[in-house]
């Protein structure tokens, strides 16, 4: 059973374009995190959102947590080749061992930005 559904699975765009990646679930999360993984490396945390409706910005990246804490989105403005990578969302589920650090990962969105 896949707790977190990410879409799209693959995204190939030109430099300068905008894009949005979605992370959806029927479960409620106590927190949701976004990671980026580059080839040959482990995932690196970008942001954690914990409050329903929360919006966080990291330069050209905007992260939003849904009001009901069941979904999240990542929007990138004016994408650059350096944004290329695998973007993973991960959620800590309420009442399912979240205090023990258990995270459920989505399958990821592979983003390629062409110059």
Partner 1 sequence: DTAVSQTPKYLVTQMGNDKSIKCEQNLGHDTMYWYKQDSKKFLKIMFSYNNKELIINETVPNRFSPKSPDKAHLNLHINSLELGDSAVYFCASSQVPTNTIYFGEGSWLTVV
Of 14-22, 29-37, 51-59, 70-78, the window that binds partner 1 (rule: CB under 8 A) is 29-37
Q: Does 98 bind partner 1 (CB under 8 A)?
A: yes
- Residue 90's contacts (CB-CB under 8 Å, 6 or more residues apart) are 4, 32, 33, 34, 35, 103, 104, 105, 106
Does the protein bind partner 1 through residue 96 (CB under 8 A)?
no
Q: How far is the CB of 78 from partner 1 (least distance, A)?
A: 26
Give the x-and-dash track for 37-66 against partner 1 (CB under 8 A): x--xxxxxx--x------------------
Among 82, 95, 97, 115, binds partner 1 (CB under 8 A): 97
Strands in 19-24's sheet, in edge-to-edge order, are: 5-7, 19-24, 71-76, 61-65, 55-58
- Which two structure tokens, joined as six digits, stand for 66? 């849904």
């Amino acid at each position: 059973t896949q707790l977190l559904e990410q879409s799209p699975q693959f995204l190939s765009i030109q430099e300068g374009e905008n894009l949005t990646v979605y992370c959806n679930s029927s479960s409620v999360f106590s927190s949701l995190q976004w990671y980026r993984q580059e080839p040959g490396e482990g995932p690196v945390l970008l942001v954690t959102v914990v409050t329903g409706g929360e919006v966080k910005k990291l330069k050209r990246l905007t992260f939003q947590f849904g009001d009901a804490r069941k979904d999240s989105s990542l929007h990138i403005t004016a994408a650059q080749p350096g944004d290329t990578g695998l973007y993973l969302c991960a959620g800590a589920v309420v009442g399912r061992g979240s205090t023990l650090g258990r995270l459920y990962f989505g399958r990821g969105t592979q983003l390629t930005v062409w110059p």
